[in-house]
Amino acid sequence: MDFDMEYVTHHAHGRDVTFALRRGIRDRYLDGIRSGKLQVDTLSYFNFRANELGRDMTVVDVGANIGALSLPLAVAGHRVMGIEADPNNFACLLAAKKANPGTDFLPVNLAATSGFRMVFLESDSAWTQVTDSPASGRSALGMPLVDIIDTFGFADADLIKMDIEGSELAALTGIESFISNNPDVEFVYESNFEACDFYGHTRQDLARRFEDLGYSLYCFRPQGDLMRYSSSAPQGLAIVDMLATKRDMSGAGYAPVVDYDDDWAELEIRKALNRPMEVQQKHALSDLKYCRPAFLESDVWNRAYQIYLNKKSASASGS
């Protein structure tokens, strides 16, 4: 397969960062980067943490894609490993490494999984998922994250970002030994309703895994604050970024820290139920078991649910 690359340069946190994209491959994520939008909401936290530590960090980016997080951090002087299963995205990482000389950036073409085995890949670009079905025709070698970290010498990682479309829970297999030896390591991970559901678990299961590992959870909310979160609470939005840390963020100074907000979560669930995308509706219905009884019994929820039922009935009649 030939890789015809195009290059896009962004100014990220005071530095020029060049990204490599496959020419002619279009989707909303890649076109956003082409148009000048580098939307990595959690990058600000990585920069904040580096300022806190007062030194360059060691970062593991699990699900690096084309390097939207990895490359700005590497260009800023941090030591970064970008783990990417998709060979097309990995080719972009290699090209970008060459286009940003002098960085301590290590692209690794592996899938973070529950065991050492060959896996197959579904979808592509920012939405590549690991599967055991060979139907896609694309494959990758899978290893637990702890083994990848040990193999490539990143056992001193300060921060680990995980965005692997629902495989996060499997990738954490055996991670206890690494965390025991590196208790200050923090995780920033995507909690994605649909992606977790694809693998037969819930985002609450993933949150519970981090809690069992001794972490406190904070949700990066669109409002710009950090909301305390627990696995026993509804998520509110179908996709959010979470911070797993062993410290109390209320005095850290990164962003205002607020207690868990039932009203906000339940409002988002109610709005999601009446959005046109079925995945949003499924998310809303699945989160109900974590909502307060008072919300489920409220007139505002019952009205929203009736609107949903009416729309679903009308859609079925018209099909």
Amino acid identity at 90: F
Cβ contacts of 13 within 8 Å, gap of 6 or more:
43, 47, 72, 76
Q: How far apart are CA 295 and CA 291, in angstroms?
A: 7
Give 129-137's long-range contacts (Cβ < 8 A, gap of 24+): 129/165, 129/166, 129/167, 129/195, 129/198, 130/85, 130/164, 130/165, 130/167, 130/170
CA distances from 194 to 33, 129, 257, 286 (A): 24, 12, 27, 11
Cβ contacts of 171 within 8 Å, gap of 6 or more:
62, 112, 113, 114, 144, 145, 162, 164
Q: How far is CA 236 from the centre of its chain?
A: 16
Q: Whats the size of the chain, residue-wise?
A: 319
Q: Count Cβ neighbours within 10 Å for each residue of 11-21 and write b for 16 or more, e otherwise.
A: ebeeeebbbbb
- Residue 162 near residue 187, CB atoms below 8 Å: yes
CA distances from 112 to 65, 86, 89, 277 (A): 13, 11, 15, 30
- Residue 301 near residue 248, CB atoms below 8 Å: no
Tell me, what's the pLDDT at 32? Answer: 85
DSSP E strands: which ranges in the chain? 5-12, 15-22, 58-62, 79-83, 105-108, 111-112, 117-122, 129-131, 139-143, 159-162, 186-192, 216-220, 226-229, 239-245, 257-258
Tell me, what's the pLDDT at 3? Answer: 76
Q: How far is CA 125 from the centre of its chain?
A: 14
Farthest-apart Cα atoms in the chain, separation: 62
- Residue 99 near residue 107, CB atoms below 8 Å: no
| Per-residue pLDDT reduced to its tens digit, 178-234 | 999 999 999 999 999 999 999 999 999 999 999 999 999 999 999 999 999 999 999
Mean pLDDT by runs of 10 across the 319 residues of the chain is 84 89 88 79 94 97 96 97 96 97 97 95 86 82 98 98 96 97 97 94 96 98 96 95 97 96 96 92 94 96 94 80
**CA-CA-CA-CA dihedral for 20, 26, 30, 31, to nearest 10:** 120
Amino acid identity at 34: R
Tell me, what's the pLDDT at 27? Answer: 87
Q: How far apart are CA 301 and CA 98, in angstroms?
A: 54
Element (H, E) at 285: helix 278-286
